[in-house]
Amino acid sequence: MIRQITKLVTGVGVDYHRWPAGVVFRKGEPVTLQDDLAQIKEDAKEFEAEHGRDLGNGWLLNHPLQKMILFRDHLAATKLPGKARTKTKAVPAPSSDDDEEEAAAAPPEAKPAKGTLTPETVRAIREVKKRFDEGEIDEATYKETKAGLLNKPSPAAVDATPSLVGRAVRKKFPGSGWFDGVIQSVEDGRCEIAWSDGAVKSMKDSAVAKILKD
């Protein structure tokens, strides 16, 4: 699973032997903890439906993305001070039957002490650093990926401001193709985008920064 997560967070993307040559999920689009992980998980399901179902029962994309969602929620829950921390539970993301089977089979995970990183996060950061040292990814991608793993604002998220209103965007939706859109508003780190098919959807400003047309 660490291998798949590393491919996602570095922007290398995930390929599969049953997919046509050159077909890679999220190539050039690093996945961070600030992204809309639930939506990316849905995008992964549509991508598999279009190019070929994962015969590994979810270990290709579904389980790695769910692991990132659980890790993000764990960090959010443990950030609360004092007694509130013990009373607050992270809201679980929608899960599939595969996720429930994995949760039932896996032993309970030990919670890291405050201020420490999980072994999984440390290994992912080391893998990202190794790819940077070997020249596989550039410095900007390395910094953004590391910030996402540490749950810190990425450079793209810091740069996202209300001045994004009116900017044009372009995004490829798995199974539907490319769509143009215009940012209508920015509030609390999320952008409302009106797409060319008439739909209006909300996206994280960090994700919007990657699909700006100009």
Residues 74-132 have pLDDT tens digits of 888 876 554 444 444 555 555 545 554 544 555 555 555 555 678 878 888 888 888 88
Sheet holding 168-173, edge to edge: 168-173, 177-187, 190-195, 200-204
Structurally, the chain folds into a number of domains equal to 2
Radius of gyration of the chain (CA): 18
- pLDDT of 158 reads 46
Q: How confident is the model at residue 152 (pLDDT cuts 50, 70, 90)?
A: low
Position 213 in a domain: no
Beta pairing class for 177-187 and 168-173: antiparallel
Boundary (domain end) residue, out of 111, 130, 154: 154
Q: Give the count of beta carbons closer than 10 Å to the beta carbon of residue 178.
A: 9
In Å, what is the CA distance from 67 to each residue of 109, 143, 199, 204?
12, 21, 30, 20
Please report which residue ranges of the chain form alpha helices under DSSP H.
Answer: 2-10, 37-51, 62-78, 84-87, 97-105, 119-133, 139-149, 155-159, 205-208
Backbone angles phi, psi at 151, to 5 degrees: 65, 35
Do residues 69 and 169 both lie within one domain?
no
Residues 23-82 have pLDDT tens digits of 999 999 999 988 999 999 999 989 988 988 888 888 888 888 998 999 888 888 876 554
This model's pTM is above 0.85:
no
Higher pLDDT, 151 or 66: 66
CB 153 within 8 A of CB 147: yes
Do residues 143 and 128 both lie within one domain?
yes
Residues spanned by the domain of 198? 160-208
Do residues 19 and 97 both lie within one domain?
yes
> What CATH number did the domain enclosing 172 receive?
2.30.30
Write out the H or E segment, with its range, that includes residue 186. Answer: strand 177-187
